[in-house]
Chain A
Amino acid sequence: MPDKKAPEPPSSELTSEKLYLRRRELIKNAGLFLGTAGVVGGGLYLLGMKRTRPMDAFVPDGGGLASLPATEPGGGGAYDTDEARTPFEDVTTYNNFYEFGLDKNDPARNAHALKARPWTVAIDGEVHKPQTVDIDQLISWSPLEERVYRMRCVEAWSMVIPWLGLPLGELLKRVEPTSRAKYVAFTTLMDPEQMPGLKRPVLDWPYVEGLRLDEALHPLTLMAVGLYGKTLPNQNGAPLRLVVPWKYGFKGIKSIVRITLTEQQPPTTWNIASPHEYGFYANVNPEVDHPRWSQATERRIGEHRRRPTLPFNGYAEQVASLYAGMNLRENY
Protein backbone atom coordinates (compact mmCIF):
# COMPACT_ATOMS: atom_id res chain seq x y z
CA MET A 1 0.00 0.00 0.00
CA PRO A 2 1.49 3.29 -1.05
CA ASP A 3 2.06 5.82 1.67
CA LYS A 4 -0.54 8.60 1.14
CA LYS A 5 1.08 10.96 3.63
CA ALA A 6 2.67 14.02 2.06
CA PRO A 7 6.39 13.98 2.28
CA GLU A 8 7.69 15.94 5.24
CA PRO A 9 9.90 18.89 4.36
CA PRO A 10 13.48 18.28 5.14
CA SER A 11 14.35 19.48 8.60
CA SER A 12 16.66 22.12 7.11
CA GLU A 13 13.59 24.01 5.87
CA LEU A 14 11.73 24.01 9.16
CA THR A 15 11.31 27.37 10.87
CA SER A 16 13.12 27.09 14.11
CA GLU A 17 10.98 27.41 17.21
CA LYS A 18 13.00 30.42 18.31
CA LEU A 19 12.37 32.26 15.03
CA TYR A 20 8.67 31.30 15.13
CA LEU A 21 8.27 32.84 18.57
CA ARG A 22 10.23 35.95 17.55
CA ARG A 23 7.93 36.46 14.58
CA ARG A 24 4.89 36.38 16.85
CA GLU A 25 6.53 38.87 19.19
CA LEU A 26 7.37 41.11 16.26
CA ILE A 27 3.74 41.15 15.15
CA LYS A 28 2.58 41.86 18.68
CA ASN A 29 5.08 44.70 19.06
CA ALA A 30 4.09 46.17 15.72
CA GLY A 31 0.48 46.18 16.88
CA LEU A 32 1.35 47.85 20.16
CA PHE A 33 3.48 50.40 18.33
CA LEU A 34 0.66 51.36 15.97
CA GLY A 35 -1.91 51.44 18.77
CA THR A 36 0.20 53.64 21.02
CA ALA A 37 1.24 56.00 18.24
CA GLY A 38 -2.43 56.30 17.26
CA VAL A 39 -3.51 57.08 20.82
CA VAL A 40 -0.76 59.70 21.27
CA GLY A 41 -1.35 61.34 17.89
CA GLY A 42 -5.13 61.19 18.21
CA GLY A 43 -5.05 62.65 21.71
CA LEU A 44 -2.92 65.56 20.57
CA TYR A 45 -5.23 66.12 17.63
CA LEU A 46 -8.26 66.35 19.91
CA LEU A 47 -6.48 68.75 22.27
CA GLY A 48 -5.42 71.24 19.65
CA MET A 49 -6.47 70.76 16.10
CA LYS A 50 -10.08 71.85 16.30
CA ARG A 51 -8.89 75.38 15.66
CA THR A 52 -7.58 74.43 12.25
CA ARG A 53 -10.38 72.20 11.01
CA PRO A 54 -10.96 72.59 7.27
CA MET A 55 -13.63 75.20 6.60
CA ASP A 56 -14.42 74.68 2.92
CA ALA A 57 -17.81 73.20 3.73
CA PHE A 58 -18.76 76.25 5.75
CA VAL A 59 -18.23 78.98 3.17
CA PRO A 60 -21.75 80.31 2.51
CA ASP A 61 -23.12 79.28 -0.82
CA GLY A 62 -23.34 82.58 -2.69
CA GLY A 63 -26.42 81.32 -4.53
CA GLY A 64 -28.23 80.79 -1.22
CA LEU A 65 -27.91 84.46 -0.32
CA ALA A 66 -30.22 86.98 -1.91
CA SER A 67 -28.59 89.55 -4.16
CA LEU A 68 -28.95 93.12 -3.02
CA PRO A 69 -28.74 95.88 -5.59
CA ALA A 70 -26.30 98.61 -4.71
CA THR A 71 -27.60 101.86 -6.05
CA GLU A 72 -24.17 103.31 -5.69
CA PRO A 73 -21.58 100.80 -6.92
CA GLY A 74 -18.51 100.80 -4.69
CA GLY A 75 -14.88 100.96 -5.58
CA GLY A 76 -14.81 104.48 -6.88
CA GLY A 77 -16.58 106.42 -4.14
CA ALA A 78 -14.90 109.01 -1.97
CA TYR A 79 -14.83 106.66 1.02
CA ASP A 80 -13.77 103.48 -0.78
CA THR A 81 -10.32 102.00 -0.53
CA ASP A 82 -8.86 100.49 -3.70
CA GLU A 83 -6.79 97.98 -1.71
CA ALA A 84 -7.20 94.30 -2.58
CA ARG A 85 -10.44 92.92 -1.14
CA THR A 86 -10.24 90.04 1.32
CA PRO A 87 -11.71 86.92 -0.35
CA PHE A 88 -15.35 86.08 0.46
CA GLU A 89 -14.24 82.70 1.94
CA ASP A 90 -12.01 84.45 4.47
CA VAL A 91 -14.52 87.18 5.37
CA THR A 92 -17.15 84.51 6.08
CA THR A 93 -15.06 81.88 7.92
CA TYR A 94 -12.74 83.96 10.11
CA ASN A 95 -14.25 86.41 12.57
CA ASN A 96 -15.34 86.97 16.13
CA PHE A 97 -19.02 86.57 17.02
CA TYR A 98 -18.93 85.13 20.54
CA GLU A 99 -22.68 84.42 20.49
CA PHE A 100 -21.72 81.48 18.25
CA GLY A 101 -18.49 80.37 19.97
CA LEU A 102 -15.03 81.62 20.77
CA ASP A 103 -12.90 80.28 17.92
CA LYS A 104 -12.59 82.30 14.74
CA ASN A 105 -14.29 79.57 12.72
CA ASP A 106 -17.12 78.97 15.22
CA PRO A 107 -19.44 81.65 13.79
CA ALA A 108 -19.33 80.03 10.35
CA ARG A 109 -19.97 76.62 11.91
CA ASN A 110 -22.76 77.58 14.26
CA ALA A 111 -24.60 80.59 12.83
CA HIS A 112 -26.93 78.47 10.69
CA ALA A 113 -29.32 78.38 13.66
CA LEU A 114 -29.90 82.14 13.44
CA LYS A 115 -33.20 83.14 11.82
CA ALA A 116 -32.50 86.46 10.12
CA ARG A 117 -36.05 86.75 8.69
CA PRO A 118 -38.55 87.78 9.83
CA TRP A 119 -36.71 90.33 11.94
CA THR A 120 -37.70 93.59 13.55
CA VAL A 121 -35.63 96.42 14.97
CA ALA A 122 -36.93 98.58 17.79
CA ILE A 123 -35.83 102.21 17.58
CA ASP A 124 -36.61 104.20 20.70
CA GLY A 125 -35.31 106.53 23.40
CA GLU A 126 -34.73 110.21 22.64
CA VAL A 127 -36.55 110.24 19.30
CA HIS A 128 -39.76 111.90 18.15
CA LYS A 129 -40.86 108.85 16.16
CA PRO A 130 -40.09 105.70 18.14
CA GLN A 131 -41.05 102.57 16.22
CA THR A 132 -40.49 98.89 15.65
CA VAL A 133 -39.64 98.37 12.03
CA ASP A 134 -39.37 95.26 9.88
CA ILE A 135 -35.84 94.76 8.53
CA ASP A 136 -36.96 94.77 4.89
CA GLN A 137 -38.83 98.01 5.41
CA LEU A 138 -35.80 99.54 7.13
CA ILE A 139 -33.61 98.55 4.17
CA SER A 140 -35.92 100.49 1.86
CA TRP A 141 -35.50 103.72 3.85
CA SER A 142 -32.44 104.74 1.89
CA PRO A 143 -30.69 103.57 -1.30
CA LEU A 144 -28.16 100.84 -0.51
CA GLU A 145 -24.57 101.83 -1.05
CA GLU A 146 -21.53 99.65 -1.50
CA ARG A 147 -18.62 100.77 0.68
CA VAL A 148 -15.22 99.11 0.47
CA TYR A 149 -13.76 99.61 3.95
CA ARG A 150 -10.70 98.50 5.85
CA MET A 151 -11.63 96.51 8.97
CA ARG A 152 -9.06 96.48 11.79
CA CYS A 153 -9.62 94.02 14.63
CA VAL A 154 -8.31 94.89 18.11
CA GLU A 155 -6.41 91.56 17.88
CA ALA A 156 -4.13 93.13 15.23
CA TRP A 157 -5.48 91.49 12.07
CA SER A 158 -7.32 93.30 9.31
CA MET A 159 -9.41 92.81 6.18
CA VAL A 160 -10.83 94.84 3.29
CA ILE A 161 -14.57 94.22 2.93
CA PRO A 162 -17.10 95.47 0.37
CA TRP A 163 -20.10 96.17 2.59
CA LEU A 164 -23.57 96.98 1.42
CA GLY A 165 -25.74 99.19 3.57
CA LEU A 166 -27.28 102.51 4.41
CA PRO A 167 -25.66 105.35 6.32
CA LEU A 168 -26.74 105.29 9.96
CA GLY A 169 -27.40 109.02 9.64
CA GLU A 170 -30.16 108.36 7.08
CA LEU A 171 -31.79 105.88 9.42
CA LEU A 172 -31.61 108.28 12.36
CA LYS A 173 -33.13 111.10 10.29
CA ARG A 174 -36.26 108.99 9.90
CA VAL A 175 -36.88 108.72 13.63
CA GLU A 176 -36.02 112.36 14.37
CA PRO A 177 -33.73 112.47 17.41
CA THR A 178 -34.76 114.94 20.12
CA SER A 179 -32.46 117.72 21.27
CA ARG A 180 -31.57 115.62 24.30
CA ALA A 181 -30.12 112.77 22.22
CA LYS A 182 -26.34 112.66 22.68
CA TYR A 183 -25.52 108.99 22.13
CA VAL A 184 -26.79 105.96 20.20
CA ALA A 185 -26.94 102.59 21.96
CA PHE A 186 -27.24 99.26 20.11
CA THR A 187 -28.29 95.82 21.35
CA THR A 188 -27.72 92.39 19.76
CA LEU A 189 -30.34 89.64 19.77
CA MET A 190 -30.17 87.44 22.90
CA ASP A 191 -31.73 84.05 22.15
CA PRO A 192 -29.83 80.97 23.37
CA GLU A 193 -31.93 78.81 21.03
CA GLN A 194 -30.42 80.55 18.03
CA MET A 195 -27.07 81.48 19.57
CA PRO A 196 -25.38 78.55 21.37
CA GLY A 197 -22.52 80.75 22.64
CA LEU A 198 -24.92 82.57 24.97
CA LYS A 199 -25.05 79.51 27.20
CA ARG A 200 -21.63 80.41 28.55
CA PRO A 201 -21.24 83.63 30.53
CA VAL A 202 -18.11 84.71 28.65
CA LEU A 203 -19.45 88.23 28.20
CA ASP A 204 -22.25 90.12 29.92
CA TRP A 205 -25.04 89.25 27.44
CA PRO A 206 -26.67 90.72 25.45
CA TYR A 207 -23.86 92.37 23.51
CA VAL A 208 -24.27 96.14 23.62
CA GLU A 209 -22.39 98.93 21.87
CA GLY A 210 -22.65 102.66 21.49
CA LEU A 211 -21.52 105.72 19.61
CA ARG A 212 -21.52 109.42 20.29
CA LEU A 213 -24.27 111.04 18.16
CA ASP A 214 -21.76 112.92 15.98
CA GLU A 215 -19.93 109.65 15.31
CA ALA A 216 -23.22 107.98 14.44
CA LEU A 217 -24.13 110.78 12.04
CA HIS A 218 -20.74 110.73 10.29
CA PRO A 219 -21.21 109.71 6.64
CA LEU A 220 -18.65 106.88 7.00
CA THR A 221 -20.80 105.12 9.63
CA LEU A 222 -22.78 102.39 7.93
CA MET A 223 -25.61 100.05 8.89
CA ALA A 224 -24.58 97.05 6.79
CA VAL A 225 -27.15 94.57 5.46
CA GLY A 226 -24.89 92.81 2.97
CA LEU A 227 -21.38 92.15 1.73
CA TYR A 228 -19.98 91.26 -1.67
CA GLY A 229 -23.31 92.21 -3.24
CA LYS A 230 -25.31 89.64 -1.25
CA THR A 231 -27.39 89.60 1.90
CA LEU A 232 -25.23 89.49 5.02
CA PRO A 233 -24.34 85.87 5.92
CA ASN A 234 -25.52 84.96 9.44
CA GLN A 235 -21.97 84.72 10.80
CA ASN A 236 -21.23 88.28 9.76
CA GLY A 237 -24.12 89.71 11.76
CA ALA A 238 -27.29 89.19 9.71
CA PRO A 239 -29.55 90.87 9.10
CA LEU A 240 -28.24 94.23 10.33
CA ARG A 241 -24.88 95.26 11.76
CA LEU A 242 -22.90 98.38 12.48
CA VAL A 243 -19.71 99.23 10.55
CA VAL A 244 -17.50 102.04 11.88
CA PRO A 245 -14.32 101.69 9.84
CA TRP A 246 -12.08 103.95 11.94
CA LYS A 247 -12.78 101.98 15.12
CA TYR A 248 -11.69 98.50 16.20
CA GLY A 249 -13.91 95.73 14.92
CA PHE A 250 -15.62 94.98 18.24
CA LYS A 251 -17.50 98.29 17.92
CA GLY A 252 -19.25 96.78 14.88
CA ILE A 253 -22.14 95.21 16.79
CA LYS A 254 -23.97 92.43 14.91
CA SER A 255 -27.51 91.14 14.54
CA ILE A 256 -29.02 94.32 15.99
CA VAL A 257 -32.53 94.22 17.49
CA ARG A 258 -32.63 97.59 19.25
CA ILE A 259 -31.31 101.09 18.65
CA THR A 260 -31.84 103.54 21.51
CA LEU A 261 -30.91 107.21 21.52
CA THR A 262 -29.73 108.33 24.94
CA GLU A 263 -28.63 111.38 26.84
CA GLN A 264 -25.92 109.50 28.78
CA GLN A 265 -23.00 107.51 27.39
CA PRO A 266 -24.28 103.92 27.14
CA PRO A 267 -22.39 100.90 28.53
CA THR A 268 -20.46 98.81 25.99
CA THR A 269 -19.79 95.08 26.28
CA TRP A 270 -15.99 94.82 25.98
CA ASN A 271 -15.57 97.87 28.21
CA ILE A 272 -17.66 96.12 30.87
CA ALA A 273 -15.62 92.94 30.43
CA SER A 274 -12.19 94.56 30.70
CA PRO A 275 -12.31 98.35 31.23
CA HIS A 276 -8.57 98.98 31.17
CA GLU A 277 -8.17 97.15 27.84
CA TYR A 278 -11.21 98.28 25.84
CA GLY A 279 -12.54 101.83 25.97
CA PHE A 280 -15.77 103.40 24.77
CA TYR A 281 -14.10 105.12 21.82
CA ALA A 282 -11.86 102.27 20.58
CA ASN A 283 -10.51 104.36 17.72
CA VAL A 284 -7.78 102.53 15.81
CA ASN A 285 -4.56 104.05 17.12
CA PRO A 286 -1.06 102.67 16.48
CA GLU A 287 0.30 104.93 19.24
CA VAL A 288 -1.81 103.45 22.02
CA ASP A 289 -1.03 99.80 22.61
CA HIS A 290 -3.39 97.23 24.02
CA PRO A 291 -2.02 96.54 27.54
CA ARG A 292 -0.97 93.07 26.39
CA TRP A 293 0.06 93.58 22.78
CA SER A 294 1.24 96.23 20.35
CA GLN A 295 -1.21 98.01 18.05
CA ALA A 296 1.58 99.49 15.90
CA THR A 297 1.28 96.84 13.18
CA GLU A 298 -1.33 94.47 11.85
CA ARG A 299 -1.56 91.41 9.64
CA ARG A 300 -3.83 91.83 6.66
CA ILE A 301 -5.54 88.48 6.20
CA GLY A 302 -3.93 86.82 3.19
CA GLU A 303 -0.61 88.60 3.69
CA HIS A 304 2.35 87.34 5.69
CA ARG A 305 4.31 90.48 6.40
CA ARG A 306 2.85 92.76 9.02
CA ARG A 307 1.98 96.24 7.84
CA PRO A 308 1.93 99.44 9.87
CA THR A 309 -1.43 100.35 11.39
CA LEU A 310 -2.66 103.80 10.39
CA PRO A 311 -4.19 106.36 12.79
CA PHE A 312 -7.98 106.05 12.67
CA ASN A 313 -7.37 103.04 10.40
CA GLY A 314 -6.49 105.37 7.53
CA TYR A 315 -9.63 107.54 7.90
CA ALA A 316 -7.96 110.34 9.89
CA GLU A 317 -8.67 112.91 7.17
CA GLN A 318 -12.40 112.27 7.51
CA VAL A 319 -12.81 111.74 11.24
CA ALA A 320 -9.88 113.20 13.22
CA SER A 321 -11.78 116.48 13.65
CA LEU A 322 -14.44 114.66 15.69
CA TYR A 323 -11.85 114.25 18.43
CA ALA A 324 -10.12 117.64 18.27
CA GLY A 325 -8.73 118.56 21.68
CA MET A 326 -9.37 115.12 23.16
CA ASN A 327 -6.62 113.10 24.82
CA LEU A 328 -6.76 109.90 22.77
CA ARG A 329 -4.46 108.05 25.17
CA GLU A 330 -6.95 108.54 27.99
CA ASN A 331 -10.01 108.13 25.76
CA TYR A 332 -8.85 104.86 24.20
Chain B
Amino acid sequence: MASPPLPWLKPAVLVGGLAPLALLLLQGAQGSLGPNVIEAVLNETGLLALVFLVASLACTPLKLLFGWTWPVRVRKLVGLMAFTYAVLHFLTYAVADQGLALRQILEDITRRKFIAVGFIALVLLVPLAATSTNAAVRRMGFPAWQRLHRLVYVAAALGVVHFLWRVKKDATEPLIYGAVLTLLLGIRAVEAVRKRRRAREAVRPA
Protein backbone atom coordinates (compact mmCIF):
# COMPACT_ATOMS: atom_id res chain seq x y z
CA MET B 1 0.00 0.00 0.00
CA ALA B 2 1.40 3.40 -0.94
CA SER B 3 1.87 5.65 2.08
CA PRO B 4 -0.06 8.92 1.92
CA PRO B 5 2.13 11.79 0.73
CA LEU B 6 3.76 13.77 3.57
CA PRO B 7 2.51 11.39 6.26
CA TRP B 8 4.50 13.32 8.88
CA LEU B 9 2.87 16.69 8.24
CA LYS B 10 -0.37 16.46 10.21
CA PRO B 11 1.11 14.72 13.27
CA ALA B 12 3.90 17.31 13.32
CA VAL B 13 1.49 20.26 13.23
CA LEU B 14 -0.65 18.61 15.90
CA VAL B 15 2.28 17.96 18.23
CA GLY B 16 3.91 21.35 17.60
CA GLY B 17 0.56 23.09 18.00
CA LEU B 18 -0.21 21.41 21.31
CA ALA B 19 3.32 21.96 22.65
CA PRO B 20 2.46 25.43 24.09
CA LEU B 21 -0.51 23.89 25.91
CA ALA B 22 1.75 21.20 27.38
CA LEU B 23 4.25 23.87 28.43
CA LEU B 24 1.47 25.96 29.98
CA LEU B 25 0.29 22.95 32.02
CA LEU B 26 3.85 22.13 33.05
CA GLN B 27 4.59 25.72 34.07
CA GLY B 28 1.28 25.86 35.90
CA ALA B 29 2.15 22.72 37.85
CA GLN B 30 5.58 24.13 38.68
CA GLY B 31 4.08 27.44 39.73
CA SER B 32 6.23 29.36 37.25
CA LEU B 33 3.48 31.21 35.40
CA GLY B 34 4.11 34.36 37.41
CA PRO B 35 2.07 35.94 40.17
CA ASN B 36 -1.12 36.22 38.08
CA VAL B 37 -1.61 32.70 36.74
CA ILE B 38 -5.12 33.21 35.40
CA GLU B 39 -4.11 36.30 33.47
CA ALA B 40 -1.11 34.42 32.01
CA VAL B 41 -3.29 31.50 30.84
CA LEU B 42 -5.89 33.90 29.42
CA ASN B 43 -3.26 35.80 27.45
CA GLU B 44 -1.56 32.68 26.11
CA THR B 45 -4.69 30.78 25.06
CA GLY B 46 -6.19 33.88 23.47
CA LEU B 47 -3.06 34.63 21.51
CA LEU B 48 -2.72 31.01 20.35
CA ALA B 49 -6.34 30.99 19.17
CA LEU B 50 -5.69 34.11 17.09
CA VAL B 51 -2.40 32.80 15.70
CA PHE B 52 -4.05 29.57 14.53
CA LEU B 53 -7.05 31.43 13.13
CA VAL B 54 -4.81 33.69 11.07
CA ALA B 55 -2.65 30.69 10.06
CA SER B 56 -5.72 28.81 8.81
CA LEU B 57 -6.43 31.79 6.56
CA ALA B 58 -2.88 31.74 5.21
CA CYS B 59 -3.23 28.30 3.54
CA THR B 60 -5.10 29.40 0.43
CA PRO B 61 -2.98 32.54 -0.16
CA LEU B 62 0.18 30.42 0.09
CA LYS B 63 -1.20 28.15 -2.61
CA LEU B 64 -2.18 31.11 -4.80
CA LEU B 65 1.16 32.87 -4.43
CA PHE B 66 3.66 30.03 -4.38
CA GLY B 67 1.72 27.03 -5.63
CA TRP B 68 2.27 25.21 -2.32
CA THR B 69 -0.38 22.61 -1.69
CA TRP B 70 0.81 21.28 1.66
CA PRO B 71 -0.68 24.14 3.75
CA VAL B 72 -4.17 23.33 2.49
CA ARG B 73 -3.76 19.79 3.77
CA VAL B 74 -3.34 20.98 7.34
CA ARG B 75 -5.95 23.74 7.12
CA LYS B 76 -8.67 21.73 8.84
CA LEU B 77 -6.33 20.76 11.64
CA VAL B 78 -5.10 24.34 12.05
CA GLY B 79 -8.70 25.58 12.17
CA LEU B 80 -9.62 23.01 14.80
CA MET B 81 -6.58 24.04 16.87
CA ALA B 82 -7.80 27.64 16.71
CA PHE B 83 -11.21 26.49 17.95
CA THR B 84 -9.63 24.40 20.73
CA TYR B 85 -7.57 27.30 22.04
CA ALA B 86 -10.56 29.67 21.72
CA VAL B 87 -12.66 27.30 23.84
CA LEU B 88 -9.86 26.98 26.41
CA HIS B 89 -9.56 30.78 26.44
CA PHE B 90 -13.29 31.18 27.10
CA LEU B 91 -13.32 28.45 29.75
CA THR B 92 -10.39 30.09 31.53
CA TYR B 93 -12.36 33.33 31.57
CA ALA B 94 -15.70 31.81 32.58
CA VAL B 95 -14.53 29.20 35.11
CA ALA B 96 -11.19 30.37 36.51
CA ASP B 97 -11.50 34.15 36.17
CA GLN B 98 -15.22 34.66 36.83
CA GLY B 99 -15.86 31.53 38.93
CA LEU B 100 -18.88 30.73 36.71
CA ALA B 101 -20.73 33.79 38.01
CA LEU B 102 -23.31 33.76 35.21
CA ARG B 103 -24.78 37.17 35.96
CA GLN B 104 -21.33 38.74 35.84
CA ILE B 105 -20.42 36.90 32.64
CA LEU B 106 -23.66 37.94 30.92
CA GLU B 107 -23.12 41.50 32.02
CA ASP B 108 -19.58 41.42 30.61
CA ILE B 109 -20.76 40.01 27.28
CA THR B 110 -23.62 42.48 26.92
CA ARG B 111 -21.95 45.60 28.28
CA ARG B 112 -18.28 45.35 27.35
CA LYS B 113 -17.52 45.71 23.69
CA PHE B 114 -14.22 43.90 23.83
CA ILE B 115 -15.71 40.85 25.54
CA ALA B 116 -18.75 40.93 23.24
CA VAL B 117 -16.68 40.77 20.04
CA GLY B 118 -14.52 37.97 21.46
CA PHE B 119 -17.62 36.01 22.41
CA ILE B 120 -19.20 36.51 18.96
CA ALA B 121 -15.98 35.28 17.33
CA LEU B 122 -16.12 32.11 19.44
CA VAL B 123 -19.81 31.54 18.65
CA LEU B 124 -19.08 31.92 14.92
CA LEU B 125 -16.43 29.21 15.16
CA VAL B 126 -18.83 26.64 16.67
CA PRO B 127 -20.73 25.75 13.46
CA LEU B 128 -17.42 25.67 11.56
CA ALA B 129 -15.89 23.19 13.98
CA ALA B 130 -19.11 21.15 13.94
CA THR B 131 -19.00 20.87 10.12
CA SER B 132 -15.30 20.21 9.80
CA THR B 133 -15.63 16.56 8.76
CA ASN B 134 -15.63 15.25 5.19
CA ALA B 135 -19.04 13.76 5.88
CA ALA B 136 -20.37 17.22 6.68
CA VAL B 137 -19.02 18.59 3.40
CA ARG B 138 -20.81 15.78 1.53
CA ARG B 139 -24.03 16.25 3.46
CA MET B 140 -24.14 20.01 2.91
CA GLY B 141 -22.76 20.09 -0.59
CA PHE B 142 -19.54 21.93 -1.24
CA PRO B 143 -20.95 25.36 -2.23
CA ALA B 144 -23.13 25.62 0.88
CA TRP B 145 -20.28 24.35 3.07
CA GLN B 146 -17.91 26.90 1.58
CA ARG B 147 -20.38 29.73 2.10
CA LEU B 148 -20.77 28.77 5.76
CA HIS B 149 -17.03 28.55 6.29
CA ARG B 150 -16.53 32.09 5.05
CA LEU B 151 -17.66 33.04 8.57
CA VAL B 152 -14.04 32.46 9.55
CA TYR B 153 -13.13 35.79 7.92
CA VAL B 154 -15.51 37.55 10.30
CA ALA B 155 -14.32 35.51 13.30
CA ALA B 156 -10.67 36.34 12.62
CA ALA B 157 -11.41 40.05 12.18
CA LEU B 158 -13.39 40.09 15.44
CA GLY B 159 -10.50 38.27 17.11
CA VAL B 160 -8.14 41.07 16.12
CA VAL B 161 -10.62 43.73 17.33
CA HIS B 162 -11.00 41.82 20.63
CA PHE B 163 -7.22 41.96 21.08
CA LEU B 164 -7.04 45.62 20.04
CA TRP B 165 -9.74 46.74 22.49
CA ARG B 166 -8.22 44.80 25.34
CA VAL B 167 -4.75 46.34 25.40
CA LYS B 168 -4.33 49.26 27.76
CA LYS B 169 -2.22 51.47 25.56
CA ASP B 170 0.29 49.90 23.19
CA ALA B 171 -1.57 48.55 20.16
CA THR B 172 1.49 47.39 18.22
CA GLU B 173 0.93 43.65 18.61
CA PRO B 174 -2.80 43.60 17.72
CA LEU B 175 -2.09 45.89 14.78
CA ILE B 176 0.52 43.44 13.45
CA TYR B 177 -2.09 40.66 13.50
CA GLY B 178 -4.54 43.03 11.86
CA ALA B 179 -2.05 43.85 9.10
CA VAL B 180 -1.28 40.17 8.43
CA LEU B 181 -4.99 39.36 8.31
CA THR B 182 -5.67 42.28 5.96
CA LEU B 183 -2.90 41.10 3.66
CA LEU B 184 -4.24 37.52 3.62
CA LEU B 185 -7.80 38.61 2.93
CA GLY B 186 -6.54 41.06 0.31
CA ILE B 187 -4.83 38.25 -1.61
CA ARG B 188 -8.12 36.35 -1.63
CA ALA B 189 -10.04 39.41 -2.76
CA VAL B 190 -7.68 40.00 -5.68
CA GLU B 191 -7.99 36.35 -6.69
CA ALA B 192 -11.80 36.49 -6.46
CA VAL B 193 -11.91 39.53 -8.73
CA ARG B 194 -9.59 37.84 -11.24
CA LYS B 195 -11.66 34.67 -11.22
CA ARG B 196 -14.85 36.59 -11.90
CA ARG B 197 -13.21 38.45 -14.78
CA ARG B 198 -11.93 35.18 -16.26
CA ALA B 199 -15.42 33.67 -15.97
CA ARG B 200 -16.96 36.69 -17.71
CA GLU B 201 -14.44 36.54 -20.52
CA ALA B 202 -15.11 32.83 -20.96
CA VAL B 203 -18.83 33.33 -21.58
CA ARG B 204 -18.32 36.30 -23.88
CA PRO B 205 -18.49 35.22 -27.55
CA ALA B 206 -15.13 35.33 -29.22
Contact = CB atoms under 8 A, between A and B. Distances in A.
A292 B114 contact: yes
A55 B43 CA distance: 17
A301 B11 CA distance: 39
A286 B47 CA distance: 29
Nearest to A87: B35
B19 A37 contact: yes
Contacts, number: 124
A90 B35 contact: yes
B9 interface: yes
A56 B31 CA distance: 11
A105 B39 CA distance: 13
Nearest to B12: A36
Contact of B27 (A40, A52, A273, A301): A52
Contacts of B32: 52, 54-56
Contact of A306 (B43, B44, B98): B98
A47 B51 contact: yes
A29 interface: yes
A interface: dominant SS: helix
A274 B170 CA distance: 12
A34 B16 CA distance: 9
Contacts of A30: 8
Interface residues of B, number: 45
B36 A52 contact: no
Given A40-B13, A41-B19, A55-B34, A292 B170 contact: no
B48 A36 contact: no
B170 A40 contact: no
A48 B48 contact: yes
* Interface size class, chain A: 35 or more
Of A25, A36, A102, A203, chain B has the most CB atoms within 10 Å of the CB of: A36
Interface string A49-69: 101101110000000000000
A36 B38 contact: no
B179 interface: no
B11 A33 contact: yes
A332 interface: no
A28 to B, nearest CB: 9
Given A37-B12, A47-B51, A292 B113 contact: yes
Nearest to A203: B169
A230 interface: no
B117 to A, nearest CB: 12
B interface: dominant SS: helix
A32 B8 contact: yes
A302 B108 CA distance: 24
Contact of A48 (B17, B47, B168): B47
Contact of A29 (B8, B34, B37, B40): B8
Nearest to A89: B35
Given A36-B9, A292-B112, A304-B38, A273 B169 contact: yes
Contacts of B108: 294
Contacts of B13: 36-37, 40
Given A51-B40, A51-B44, A41 B15 contact: yes
A94 interface: yes
Contacts of A25: 3
Given A35-B12, A89-B35, 6 more contacts: A29-B8, A34-B12, A39-B16, A48-B43, A54-B27, A273-B169
27 contacts: A29-B8, A34-B12, A36-B9, A36-B12, A37-B11, A38-B16, A48-B44, A48-B48, A49-B20, A49-B23, A55-B32, A55-B34, A56-B32, A94-B36, A104-B36, A157-B36, A202-B169, A203-B169, A273-B169, A292-B112, A292-B113, A292-B114, A293-B112, A294-B107, A294-B108, A297-B104, A306-B97
Interface of A: 25, 29-30, 32-45, 47-49, 51-52, 54-56, 86, 89-90, 93-94, 98, 102, 104-105, 155, 157, 200, 202-203, 273-274, 292-294, 297, 299, 301-302, 304-306
